[in-house]
Chain A
Amino acid sequence: MLHTVNKSPWQAPSLEACLAHLGDERLLLIEDGVYAALAASDAAARLDDPARDGRIYALGPDLEARGIGTDQLAAGVEVVDYAGFVQLVAAHGPHQAWL
């Protein structure tokens, strides 16, 4: 299964709820959800375990819009573009959006 979170972790408990249900599945951070991947923030630690397994992704255009460079991302977070988003859905669907 592919999960997406589109809210900042300080704005809504969506990330927390998603991670509580993530299990061994994959999470793609999109829109304001990408702020959770900022290595220096107090949110990034929550992604440690799944990121180590290569199961956390962040959408590149949303990072770029927000001025987040790949060097500022938490370790293990993989950046994908829109085509990569589609590939994730195709490979790991169904998709659940945590709004």
Chain B
Amino acid sequence: MSEEMDLEQGGDMKRFMFVNRKAPHGSIYALEALEVVLIAAAFDQDVSLAFLDDGVFQLRQGQNAKALDMKNFAPTFRALDDYDIEKLYVERESLDERGLSEDELIVPVEVVDRARMSALMTEQDVVMSF
């Protein structure tokens, strides 16, 4: 299956997964990950994003980093669709631990359980962690 895909796309497309495990405003990781995701999309790669552990907080509605005089980057997640990035996976167990529900998130996502998240990771060519 993957060989077929490579042939179709000239062999230069890889499956990139960006794994987001950090809360959004206490460190620069979340913002930097988003920048790299947009770069990968510009190179027409097969990009997916995974949100687990504190990374699920990146997708909370109602964030306003301007309260800290920082760039309010959360709305950028809504623009990912314009870059043909449609695969956003969120781990159910991480949401549950933090009392978050899917309808509190800023964009439509696919909520997956931990086992499915693990399987998705193994399907990738490249996994980048933030």
Q: Which residues of A line the B interface, CB within 8 A?
A: 6-8, 10-11, 31-32, 35, 38-42, 44, 60-62, 64-69
A67 contact set on B, CB distance < 8 A: 60-64, 74
* Of B66, B68, B100, most A-chain CB atoms within 10 Å: B68
Contact (Cβ within 8 A) B61 A66? no
B100 contact set on A, CB distance < 8 A: 40
| Chain B 1-36: CB-based contact to A (< 8 A → 1; otherwise 0) | 000000000000000000000111110000000000
Contact (Cβ within 8 A) B70 A8? no
The verdict on B53 contacting chain A, using a C-beta distance below 8 Å, is yes
Say how far B20's CB is from chain A's closest CB, in angstroms. Answer: 13
A32, A38, A62: which contacts B99 (Cβ < 8 A)? A38
Contact (Cβ within 8 A) B62 A61? no
Contact (Cβ within 8 A) A65 B99? no
B23, B64, B68, B70: which contacts A35 (Cβ < 8 A)? B23
Task: Give Cα A66 to B99, complex, Å.
Answer: 14
The 4 closest A-B pairs by CB, nearest first: A40-B99, A67-B62, A32-B26, A64-B67
Say how far B102's CB is from chain A's closest CB, in angstroms. Answer: 13
The verdict on B97 contacting chain A, using a C-beta distance below 8 Å, is yes
The verdict on B65 contacting chain A, using a C-beta distance below 8 Å, is yes
A41 contact set on B, CB distance < 8 A: 97-99
The verdict on B57 contacting chain A, using a C-beta distance below 8 Å, is yes
B46 contact set on A, CB distance < 8 A: none
Known: A10-B98, A44-B99. 19 other contacts (CB 8 A): A7-B26, A8-B54, A8-B57, A11-B23, A11-B53, A31-B25, A39-B99, A41-B99, A62-B68, A64-B64, A64-B67, A65-B64, A65-B65, A65-B66, A65-B68, A66-B60, A66-B63, A67-B61, A68-B60
